[in-house]
Amino acid sequence: MRLALIGDPVAHSRSPRLHRRFLEEAGIDGDYVSIRVPRDNAVDVLRRMRMDGYTGCNVTYPLKEEALRACDVIDEEARRVGAVNTVLFGMEIRGTNTDGIGARSALESVLDEPLALKRVGVLGTGATARAILSALQACDAYAFAWGRDDEKVADLHARFECDAWPEDNPPEITINTLPPDVVLPASLVDQLQLTDFVMDANYGERATLAKQLRREVIPGDAMLEAQARASFDYWLAHVERVGN
């Protein structure tokens, strides 16, 4: 299996290490590499990767929306989210999105119980935030969205049936999908110090939210591994179907 990650930046990514481990555990001869691809280049790069014999590809910031345009077929989840993070190459280019699966799995692992009926807040309005809100809607959680763009936040409310951020009673659980350099308003920082726990989609050196909030924040390693496993299983199922 020939696999890759595209995005910008990618040097920090732990995806190659994870997927090489998955390949070894499955006894599959293959490799996974990271390729830096600047914005506005995803379509051309993905089409070239198909011609070059890649089996699959993960897509990260800022290319998840662009990747939709390269796909001949996208599943319902990618369509709802409006973004692709997992691509399968074959006679057609197929796209799906496993970010929501990763977030839900990581949260339920921390809680040791389902998310149904939990109050969960999502910071951000981008592709990762939309995937998480889609997963929360599917599991009947009470979701709330916060963002810096009022129009985008209103779109999230309509698309995923989530509510406006409850300033007088913040959600018990919060997931941050904002970039590491975003400075949150002081009022929001105060609210997030009162929540049961906060999870950051960023990890490693990019997980800087704990310093800003001055509290413990769960980094995004578990989210990354869960969505990576879902991507790998998606590719593996295809390879097994072809083999049979």
pLDDT tens digit string along 110-125? 999 999 999 999 999 9
Choose the catalytic residue: 64, 118, 152, 211: 64
214 and 200 within one domain: yes
Query: Strand 56-59 and strand 86-89: pairing?
Result: antiparallel
Give the containing element (helix H, strand E) for 229. helix 221-243
Q: How many CA atoms lie within 13 A of 70 on its CB side?
A: 30
Q: How many CA atoms lie within 13 A of 95 on its CB side?
A: 25
Please name the amino acid found at residue 30: G
pLDDT tens column, 6-48: 999 999 999 999 999 999 999 999 999 999 999 999 999 999 9
| Residues in Cβ contact with 61 at an 8 Å cutoff, skipping those fewer than 6 apart | 7, 8, 126, 127, 128, 179
In a domain, 240, yes or no: no
* Domain region containing 21: 2-97
128 and 66 within one domain: no
pLDDT above 70: percentage of residues in the chain: 98
Question: How far apart are alpha carbons 126 and 62 in whole angstroms?
Answer: 10
Evaluate whether 234 touches 99 at the Cβ level (below 8 Å).
no
114 and 45 within one domain: no
64 is catalytic: yes
